[in-house]
Structure 1
Amino acid sequence: MQEQPDGLIAELQAKNPKAFERIYERYSESTFGIINSIIHDKHLAEEILQDVFIKIWNNAEKYNSSKGRFFTWILNIARNAAIDKTRSKAYKNKQKNLTTEYFVDIIEEKTSLSSKVDAIGIKKYINVLKPYCKKIINLLYFQGFTQAEASEELDMPLGTIKTRNRNCMNKLREILTS
């Protein structure tokens, strides 16, 4: 794991374009991986990536290191932007006209987390979690499901999904910090 680039973040917050370039170089590949794992469309994922980095530039002063790591802040922006796009009417209409090849790719990806977790480098940590944690994390964080949608998909009460998600994330946090 890379250490927190506090000086670089301070420069970004001071609107230094060189700092922004360095942050883009450092984080764009992983950020693209998360977006693409939700969107499944390379060109659209690239557009969203641009939007994400514009948000990072415009909202850099809102980042607070006491609330979490900078990389986590970026990934949350990316994940939310990708999920927002999947919920948009234009995206939903586009999905109605997809080829069968696209659906085969989605089915293959749903059976394995490996390509997605490798995109952000946490495969070895995810693999030690219980199977239900893998399923919940896959649905909520890599496929963009809401907790209600995950509840339906896994045929579990919403409260159970929320509790297990919290427990799984706490376990993952514990693994990452040990």
Structure 2
Amino acid sequence: MIEYDLSFEKQTLEVLEHNPNLAFTLIYDKYSKDLLHFVLSKVGDKKVSEDILQNVFSDFWSNKHKINKSIYGYLINSLKYQIFNYFRSEKVKAKYLIHLSVYLDEINKITPHKYLEAKEVMEHIEKLMEQLPKQCRRIFVMSRFEHKSNEEIALELNISKRTVENYITQALAFIRKKNISAYIALTFTV
């Protein structure tokens, strides 16, 4: 994968402490190409791979003051975490699409008019969900489309159950404010 260079690590850790901008440039120049190649081999999509790599370096920059042992180790762990999150996100999207497909098939059996109506509502819900803050949207998807309990969500995200409840309430209030039929669909059919 990436060649580990102990002397580079030691020197760059010292530079990171005194001149973070220079250290970041050195680290990016040394590791970005190999990291991108690795992500691309796992994900298979250049745009997604570039986004993942950007997240890794953004995370590195945000936490640069905490890194005191191994830059290489930090980048590799962050990269693995970002790839895992990508695949988990894709899995959630697939589950959501299956749920939506089943829901739309059931509606279609009733009448074509109801099918179109439900499809429009679900498309509107998707657009509304895109407007929610990232964490709020994530919790809402886990609750409404993955059918996880508030306790399961809290445990998985390492937050309190009350915080989960607040995010769900916030999402429903936002959707209700924007579109009452979408709110009714999410409140009573899920």
Q: Same fold (TM over 0.5)?
A: no
Task: Give TM class, smaller chain.
Answer: 0.3 to 0.5
Q: TM-score, normalised by structure 1?
A: 0.44
Bigger radius of gyration, 1 or 2? 2
